[in-house]
Structure 1
Amino acid sequence: MFHPNMQSIVEGFAPSGGPKWRSWNGMLADVWAVTGAAGASGEYVSPHARLFCVLEEDQPGSIVLADGRKTASASSGRLSYVPPGMRTWSRAAGETRLRHLDLHVDLRHFAQRLGLSPRDERLLRPRLMFANARIEALAGLLAEDCISGARHDRYGESLAMALLVELFEIPLPAEEARGGLSQRRLRLATDYLADNCLVTVRLDDVAALTGLSPSYFASAFKASTGLTPHQWQMQQRIARVKERLSAGRSSISDIASACGFADQAHLTRVFKRHSGLTPAAWLRSFEL
């Protein structure tokens, strides 16, 4: 499980009970209810990125955040994004009670999922107390999921990913805008199909790797390759058959069994459909 490892020193802030939290691959969200005395303060630093969202505050604008260069209060916005390793300070201007959400993120994992560099400028730019209605709405739904814990993990993970895509303003990849798969998703799918080309592969399993529905994935895969996932997999399987035929160490019947075909007749039908020749005829032409 992902651990954010945030270090904090607080004085005058006290949690009202423990946090409610959910964790996914490379992300953890927690909801805290906190009371703060006038002048309460805190200092925070983490090796991971963090989005802070004020969900409720009985004295609007009472919480002030600073990062050493800028100071902002919740009156200017309820959201703050803190990159990895950045130290921040908080202060309560007066007595207050608030509830807030922290979303902790392993940027390396997040960047890999979206095909970004972990050093992308968007991921490393701090933003204190800004407003964004879409992010606030997603943060509210994410907080509800942390508190209830009743839904499938994919629900909260999808909310967190949508929130981060909006936060970093990540556009649709050009390939997907044209109806195909992004390079990252296409590579995930083709690597999986190639590695498993000798066994039966379920469309649902390949689609799940890319985070897409089976129907959308199948359509986008064909738009990218000109082939259905099954046709692409069969191409890879026939390529393996040709390697074994050319090696000359096995009979066609044995190759059929080793390469996932029901029998030699099945292999012959599929091989001829893809290559225009039967395995025996292809082998003769190869040996010429």
Structure 2
Amino acid sequence: MFHPNMQSIVEGFSASSVPSWRSWDGMLADVWQVTGASGARGEYVSPHARLFVVLEETMPQSLQLKLDPQDLTATSGRLSYIPPGVRTWSFLGEDVSMRHLDLHVDLQHFGKRLGLPLDCGIPVTPRLMFDNDRILTLARLLAAECIGPGLHNVYGESLATALFVELFQLERPRGDMRGQLSPRRLRVATQYLEEHCLITVRLQELAALVGLSPSYFNSAFKASTGVTPHQWQVKARVEWVKARLHEQTSSLSETATAAGFADQAHMTRVFKQYAGLTPAAWLRGTLL
């Protein structure tokens, strides 16, 4: 599990409850309910990037986040982006109770997941106390996933990814205008599916092979090929069966077992779906 390893020193703040959190590959979101007295302070630094979002507060704009602990000028905004290794300080001007979201991300893992080039435009400078309605909406949905029982893990992961895409204003790569896989990634994935067509290949395993998240890989693979990874693998399995039938060294039932089908009837249904004929009819046609 990803650990952000953020270091903090706080004075005058206290957590009202244990934080709620969710974690994905290279990302972690946690929601805190805290109280603070006027004059409370904090100091924070992390080896990973972080987005800080004030979700609710009893005294609006009471919390200030700064790059200089001596800077006491008031600013407004619920959102702050802090790049890796940047030290920040917070202070309170009034007593407050608040709920906030911290979203931590390993930028190297994030870039690899999205297939981003090194010069993709991820900011290296902090952006403190700003507002963005779309980011705030996504943050609230993500916070609800952390607090409640939550939906499928892909939902929370997609929210977190979309949040950072919006934050960084990442444009669609010019060479990938339809969200397709690069030729290299497509070649690696299809070759792996064909070589392992007789066994179950998990989507997570295939996505990790090319360094992408399962949800992104699945949609990009279909955009590139017109079919899902599972459908591509089944088609490869049917091609293997064709070769085995042409050799005429095994019975249909033996071939079905070797190909990983439940039985001959299962193989026949799948074969006809992809080849248009039953295995027996296909074999007779090849021998004419």
Q: Give the structure-1-normalised TM-score.
A: 0.71
Q: How far apart are the structure 2 equivalents of 1:81 and 1:202?
A: 35
Query: For 1:207-228, what per-residue CA distance to the aligned partner results, in whole angstroms no more than 9, with x for missing partners?
Result: 99741597x667523369xxx8
Which residue number corresponds to residue 148 of structure 2? 148
Does structure 1 conserve the Cα–Cα contact (< 8 Å) formed by 2:48 and 2:104? yes
Structure 2: state its 5+ residue gaps. 265-278
- 1:197 Cα deviation (Å)? 3.9
Q: How far apart are the structure 1 equivalents of 2:70 and 2:239?
A: 57
Distance change (3 Å), C-alpha of 1:143 and 1:190: same
Counterpart mapping for 1:90-105 below 5 A: 90-105=90-105
Which residue number corresponds to residue 246 of structure 1? none
- 1:192 Cα deviation (Å)? 3.3
Does structure 2 conserve the Cα–Cα contact (< 8 Å) formed by 1:73 and 1:129? no
Q: How far apart are the structure 1 equivalents of 2:71 and 2:121?
A: 22
DSSP-derived class of the 2:86 partner = coil
Which residue number corresponds to residue 50 of structure 1? 50
Counterpart mapping for 1:212-231 below 5 A: 219-222=222-225, 229=232
**More divergent stretch after superposition (141-150 vs 36-45):** 141-150
In the alignment, residue 166 of structure 1 is paired with which amino acid? Answer: E
Query: For 1:213-264, what per-residue CA distance to the aligned partner results, in whole angstroms no more than 9, with x for missing partners?
Result: 97x667523369xxx83598479969xx8xxxxxxxxx8849x97x9599xx
Q: How far apart are the structure 2 equivalents of 1:72 and 1:164?
A: 29
CA RMSD across the alignment? 4.3
DSSP-derived class of the 1:56 partner = strand
DSSP-derived class of the 1:77 partner = coil
Which residue number corresponds to residue 66 of structure 2? 66
Q: How far apart are the structure 2 equivalents of 1:67 and 1:135?
A: 22
In the alignment, residue 211 of structure 1 is paired with which amino acid? Answer: S
Q: How far apart are the structure 1 equivalents of 2:93 and 2:135?
A: 26
- 1:116 Cα deviation (Å)? 2.1
Distance change (3 Å), C-alpha of 1:25 and 1:72: farther
Which residue number corresponds to residue 282 of structure 1? none
DSSP-derived class of the 2:89 partner = strand
1:168 aligns with 2:168: yes
- 1:200 Cα deviation (Å)? 6.7
Counterpart mapping for 1:22-41 below 5 A: 22-41=22-41
- 1:87 Cα deviation (Å)? 0.7
DSSP-derived class of the 1:122 partner = coil
In the alignment, residue 215 of structure 2 is paired with which amino acid? Answer: G
Which residue number corresponds to residue 106 of structure 1? 106
Q: How far apart are the structure 2 equivalents of 1:182 and 1:57?
A: 43
Does structure 2 conserve the Cα–Cα contact (< 8 Å) formed by 1:58 and 1:96? yes
Which residue number corresponds to residue 285 of structure 1? none
DSSP-derived class of the 2:14 partner = strand
In the alignment, residue 220 of structure 1 is paired with which amino acid? Answer: A
DSSP-derived class of the 2:122 partner = helix
- 1:177 Cα deviation (Å)? 2.7
Q: How far apart are the structure 2 equivalents of 1:218 and 1:159?
A: 20
Which residue number corresponds to residue 126 of structure 1? 126
Q: Give the structure-2-normalised TM-score.
A: 0.71
Which residue number corresponds to residue 181 of structure 1? 180
Which residue number corresponds to residue 6 of structure 1? 6
Does structure 1 conserve the Cα–Cα contact (< 8 Å) formed by 2:120 and 2:170? no
**More divergent stretch after superposition (114-123 vs 97-106):** 114-123
- 1:17 Cα deviation (Å)? 1.6
Q: How far apart are the structure 2 equivalents of 1:218 and 1:54?
A: 37
Query: For 1:129-171, what per-residue CA distance to the aligned partner results, in whole angstroms no more than 9, with x for missing partners?
Result: 1111100000011111111133222221111111111111112
Distance change (3 Å), C-alpha of 1:91 and 1:195: farther
